[in-house]
Structure formats: C-alpha cells, structure tokens
Amino acid sequence: MTEPLLKWDASADISSADFFRRAKARLSFDVPPGLTDAAIIPPSGDHGTDHMLRIVAQERPIRPAAVLIGVVERDQPTVLLTQRAAHLNDHAGQISFPGGKIDPTDATPLDAALREAEEEIGLERSFVTPVGYLDLYATGFGFRILPTVARVRPGFELRVNADEVDEVFEVPLAFLMDPINHQMHSKEWRGVMRSYYAMPFAERYIWGATAGILRVLYERIIV
C-alpha cells in the first residue's frame, strides 16, 4: 500500500465527503463525441493550445485514451499517481495517472481506465467506486483522454508492472486543488506561444497533460 509523500495542513483540506458530494453532482458517465470525432476540438482555455490542437487533429489520427483519477478516501484524501517507466518510448519517466489507450475490447472508457489501473499498478476493482467522467482532454500527440474520477477505498495492495511503471505514489488532494500550487508555464509551438500547467510537489515534477487534467478537476469540482 502506498502512503502520501507529505502530510498537509488539515485546516486547508477539502474533506473526502465534500469532494465526492460535489463530484457526484457535477459529473456524469456521458461519453463526449469528441473522444473519437476529429472535427470536435476539446477547448483548452488557451488560444495557443487550441491552435495546436486544431492542427494536430488535421495531421494525426485520434488516439482515444482513458485514465483513472483515483482519490483515496483517507482522513486527508490523496490522489494516486504513477511515474512512467524510464525505458518507455513515449513520455518516459513522466508523472501520470494510471491509464492508456482504449482497446476495442473495452466496453466503455470507464472499463479501459479500470483495466489499465489493474494492469499497471495492480489496483483491484473491488476497491474502486467510479463517480463520473471529467472533461475530455486533448494533447499534442493526438490523444483524446477521458478521465474517470473515482473513490478508492483504503486497504488496497498494489503490484507495480515494471514494464510500464517505475513507481506509484500519493499526493494530498489539498495540495493539488490549491491554485497557489498551479504554476503557469509557456513555450513556443510552430511560432505560437502556448501555455501549460505544472504542479511541482516535493521531488516530483507534475506537468503537461497530468497537471492540465488536475487543473480541470479543480475548475469542475472545487471552484
């Protein structure tokens, strides 16, 4: 079983009960058509990123994917994250959610997220209660990621698949949902500046799609 890397000030925490109450009221399991329709560009809120996504949709095939935002129901709730294996061809060593591409055998994106979490980190489905889908998130590599927010009951034992993951760890939900920890960075993409989020935590550098999805979680559930 994992443990949070750091304790967080409980006075600043949102409780598990309040978080899941909000999530249940604001999320659903409706699958957005943009998951497989290249003509629908999921809005990012950033002009430069939207520009990039429009071009990517024309140049690359859509790659539907699903991830699990597993919120562990501790006294101070945490989020399960992984560090991708260093030998992988794509995004090696980066911080991510358990998840991956949606296979033809997956009945729904939810099934894909649960399957991937079990394959990557050994998280048994009996410990997971899905709450709903977050907004669709698109990346510059052509991925259309549909995150499933889920309640994770403590007491699980994880078995990390070393072919895909180097490490699994927990970060306090309070840290990730505090906008003071949401750094905004920018870089140029084909002559246009685009912005992206980063949320450094201890020795972990959470950025890119993972930080972007966490920012969406904050905007949908906390604000």
pTM, entire model: 0.90
Number of domains in the chain: 1
Token pair belonging to 64? 């539907």
Q: Using CA of residue 98, residue 104, residue 109, residue 111, what is the dihedral sign?
A: negative
Residue 76 lies in a domain: yes
Residue 16 lies in a domain: yes
- CA–CA distance, 215 with 120 (Å, rounded to integer): 24
Residue 146 lies in a domain: yes
Residue 205 lies in a domain: no
Residue 145 lies in a domain: yes
State the CATH number of the domain containing residue 118.
3.90.79.10
What is the full DSSP assignment across the chain?
---BSS---GGGPPPHHHHHHHHHHH-B-PPPGGGT-TT-----S-HHHHHHHHHHHHHS--EEEEEEEEEE-SSS-EEEEEEE-TT-SSSTT-EE-SEEEPPTT-SSHHHHHHHHHHHHH---GGGEEEEEE---EE-TTSEEEEEEEEEE-S-------TTTEEEEEEEEHHHHT-GGG-EEEEEEETTEEEEEEE--BTTB--BHHHHHHHHHHIIIII-
- State how beta strands 99-101 and 192-198 pair: unpaired
pLDDT tens for each residue of 145-201: 999 999 999 999 999 998 889 899 999 999 999 999 999 998 877 877 888 999 999
The pLDDT score that the predictor gives to residue 2 is 53
Residue 5 phi, psi dihedral angles, 5° rounding? -70, -40
Provide the residue range defining the domain that includes 141.
10-179+213-222
Answer yes or no: are the C-beta atoms of 24 and 132 closer than 8 Å: yes
Lowest mean pLDDT of 35-39, 47-51, 63-67, 89-93, name the range: 89-93
Token pair belonging to 93? 């060593």
Residue 49 lies in a domain: yes
pLDDT tens for each residue of 5-62: 444 343 356 788 899 999 999 999 999 999 999 999 999 888 889 889 999 998 889 9
Residue 201 lies in a domain: no
Residue 1 lies in a domain: no
